[in-house]
Structure 1
Amino acid sequence: MDKAMQKVNERLTPEGKMDVLSKWEVHTLLTASKERFSYEFRACSLAVLNTGSTEDNAKAVLEQYPDFKIEVIQQERGIKLQVSNAPAQAFVDGEMITGIKEHLFSVLRDIVFVGNEIETNPRFDLEKTEDITNAIFHILRNAKALQTEVLPNIAVCWGGHSINRIEYEYTKEVGYQLGLRYLNVCTGCGPGAMKGPMKGANIAHAKQRITDGRYIGITEPGIIAAESPNPIVNELIILPDIEKRLEAFVRMGHGVIVFPGGPGTAEEILYLLGILLHPKNKEVPFPMILTGPKSSEDYFKQIHHFIESTLGFEAQQKYKIIIDDPALVAREMRSMIEDVSDYRRSTSDAYYYNWILHIDKEFQLPFIPSHENMSQLELHKDQETHLLAANLRRAFSGIVAGNVKEEGILSIEENGKFQISGDEEIMTPLDKLLSAFVEQKRMKLPGSEYIPCYEIVKPRNLS
């Protein structure tokens, strides 16, 4: 039997995570893991155990291990996790790899325990902007991710899981330069542009004799199977959906570096631009640098032109583009994060959570990428620019769902491609950008044949 398909059973004891629980908490975990969150708990646990796989299709991962089981077992002194028919790659000589074990208990903590708390607690009305932000804070604090009395030092790195080797090596070099400057790294936790910066920073931290370097991976249930946590992540945090995941990045991080990617990266760029374009955030500093090797220069020109054609010149002023200069990227980010520190100090905002940043409900409420919702997106310029950015983000979010998320893949199989339409001055640059992603093989992991999950229908004529 192929070693990757061998399966192992083990009973796990929490170490430092969820090791001290009340009887009520144990009962909550037992009940919620078997009922309300049973599917998500199993799917996310399998994704963690499958770390290192080259598969980026959530549905395919679940189909590979149909007999995989994970159960919460009650003990006199708390709980244990029983895993059955788990991927053998998560074990060494019959024992689970420590980092994977930690990630498994992070799944239990965020999906089952905190998920149940937020859904059943009347103080969190997830239709209200303030309560959504408070819920995200609650999740991050419970994960012990919010460090007080520490100056801003978290560089968020976004980029694709499907990038070429030259681009990957570049992300490592940027991460290395960030680490030399005592910055920590937060990414979407998967492979490609999410792994590279962490790997580079890890080496730099070792050179600087930094023993508490942070490699924070933020994900959500729908995407984790396509972007299983890479081995360097030492803080895994799972948010309930993509919108809360994105808000967690900008609330917790102090600046963003964007590497080459595909529709998911475009979604992230549009999300942040939409927030920064809101009039209430005009004075709030939030660094954003787009960067890649010389071979990726055309990619960033395409992104830059798309933003000019859709959101305009003002949006282009919200970021810098630096090509083929990792040290300059790190110096600029270090300098701009110092500006963030000064601003937080002057406004009495917390260093560890960006409370003052205004985020509209349009960027917070989960977008369900159904065929109906995708076809009814408001893709026209007869609206405020930050709202157009929100709708463009939803379009890319739907494409991500159709590419890699189980429910999106199933929906495409059942109902055909998503139909995306809008005004010609929006649809033409959108079509060009998506076509470039396909041509450059940025939609799927290398080696996977890509069949588009969307169709740009005949644009509406301008009236």
Structure 2
Amino acid sequence: MNIDVVESELNNAQATLAQFSNNITVFGSARTSQDDPLAKIAYQLGKALSDKGFNVLTGAGPGIMQAVNHGAFDGQSKSIGLNIKLPKEQAPNSYLDECLFFEHFFTRKVMLIKFADACIFFPGGFGTADELMEILTLVQTRKGKQIKIFLFGEVFWTPLLTWFDDLKKNRYIDKADLETFTIVNSVEQILTILEAK
């Protein structure tokens, strides 16, 4: 790891993203087909958020990221991607008003979280789980902003909620830690909560 590259990534991203406010970061699987019902919902979410004046940030990849960026791109606000450079190159999707490039997952994750006024998690794999645990820890320990966290799709997240409940029973987490996020099943639920802040 080159510390100079890390510093440059953080400084460049900070300078660019500081220009934008009212940002919602959306996380989710890169493997979701654009024909999948979840991708269609992600598109609707991106469009609705953008039309309501929220800029939409993602990891700039395919799948859920592409769908939500596409919706935001078709809306009234900015569609922003933070792309990771991989050995098998992940090209950014085509629906971005602004795209930043990162060598490191952790610098990209810092920026996706730091500039978010809320985070929405669609179903995903290890990367999505890593991003969720990071932000839950930051909110729990008050090392990050106390922002709204949404988990989209109750059926998908139920096994995780069961595990969280076991953690609470064993006193590894507190009841209050389970109140840091909201399970949602529709775009309308998200918009209602965001607009009530």
Q: Give the TM-score band, short-chain normalised.
A: 0.7 to 0.9
* Correspondent of 1:184 among 17, 38, 55: 55
CA distance in 1, matches of 2:121, 2:190: 11
Deviation at 1:301, TM superposition (A): 0.8
Report the 3-state secondary structure (helix = DSSP H, G, I; strand = E; otherwise coil) of the residue aligned with 1:266: helix
Do residues 159 (structure 1) and 8 (structure 2) align?
Answer: no
Deviation at 1:155, TM superposition (A): 0.6
CA deviations on 1:214-253 (whole Å, 9 max, x unpaired) are: 211113323772x421100221112331111111111122
**Partner of residue 244, structure 1:** 107
**Partner of residue 189, structure 2:** 328
Do residues 316 (structure 1) and 178 (structure 2) align?
Answer: yes
Deviation at 1:335, TM superposition (A): 3.8
**1:139 aligned partner, one-letter code:** N
CA distance in 1, matches of 2:72, 2:10: 26
Residues 43-442 of structure 1 mapped to structure 2, 5 A cutoff? 119=4, 137-141=10-14, 144-147=16-19, 152-163=21-32, 165-205=36-76, 213-222=77-86, 225=89, 227-279=90-142, 284-292=145-153, 297-310=154-167, 312=173, 313-323=175-185, 325-336=186-197
CA deviations on 1:305-353 (whole Å, 9 max, x unpaired) are: 2333345333321110111x212212323444xxxxxxxxxxxxxxxxx
Q: Would the alpha carbon gap of residues 321 and 139 (structure 1) be closer, same or farther in structure 2, given more than 3 Å must change?
A: same
Deviation at 1:277, TM superposition (A): 1.4
TM-score of the superposed pair, with normalisation by structure 2: 0.83
CA distance in 2, matches of 1:331, 1:180: 14
Deviation at 1:181, TM superposition (A): 0.6
**1:169 aligned partner, one-letter code:** K
**2:65 aligned partner, one-letter code:** M
Contact 1:179 1:204 in 2 (8 A): yes
Deviation at 1:264, TM superposition (A): 1.2
CA distance in 1, matches of 2:136, 2:57: 19
Select the structure of larger CA radius of gyration: 1
Contact 1:136 1:248 in 2 (8 A): no
CA distance in 1, matches of 2:190, 2:128: 18
**1:301 aligned partner, one-letter code:** T
**2:45 aligned partner, one-letter code:** V
Q: Would the alpha carbon gap of residues 155 and 223 (structure 1) be closer, same or farther in structure 2, given more than 3 Å must change?
A: farther
Consecutive unaligned residues in structure 1, runs of 5 or more: 1-114, 121-125, 127-131, 206-212, 337-463
Q: Would the alpha carbon gap of residues 277 and 321 (structure 1) be closer, same or farther in structure 2, given more than 3 Å must change?
A: same
Q: Would the alpha carbon gap of residues 268 and 229 (structure 1) be closer, same or farther in structure 2, given more than 3 Å must change?
A: same
Q: Would the alpha carbon gap of residues 140 and 224 (structure 1) be closer, same or farther in structure 2, given more than 3 Å must change?
A: farther
Q: Would the alpha carbon gap of residues 280 and 245 (structure 1) be closer, same or farther in structure 2, given more than 3 Å must change?
A: closer
Contact 1:190 1:230 in 2 (8 A): yes
Q: Would the alpha carbon gap of residues 138 and 327 (structure 1) be closer, same or farther in structure 2, given more than 3 Å must change?
A: same
Q: Would the alpha carbon gap of residues 234 and 180 (structure 1) be closer, same or farther in structure 2, given more than 3 Å must change?
A: closer
Contact 1:308 1:315 in 2 (8 A): no
Tell me the number of residue pairs that the alignment of Structure 1 and Structure 2 aligns: 189
CA deviations on 1:253-300 (whole Å, 9 max, x unpaired) are: 22111111111111110011111111555xx421111113xxxx3211
Contact 1:177 1:204 in 2 (8 A): yes
CA distance in 2, matches of 1:249, 1:218: 7
Contact 2:14 2:111 in 1 (8 A): no
Contact 2:28 2:128 in 1 (8 A): yes
CA distance in 2, matches of 1:141, 1:272: 18
**2:177 aligned partner, one-letter code:** A
Contact 1:222 1:241 in 2 (8 A): no
Q: Would the alpha carbon gap of residues 193 and 265 (structure 1) be closer, same or farther in structure 2, given more than 3 Å must change?
A: same
Q: Would the alpha carbon gap of residues 280 and 186 (structure 1) be closer, same or farther in structure 2, given more than 3 Å must change?
A: closer
Q: Would the alpha carbon gap of residues 279 and 198 (structure 1) be closer, same or farther in structure 2, given more than 3 Å must change?
A: closer
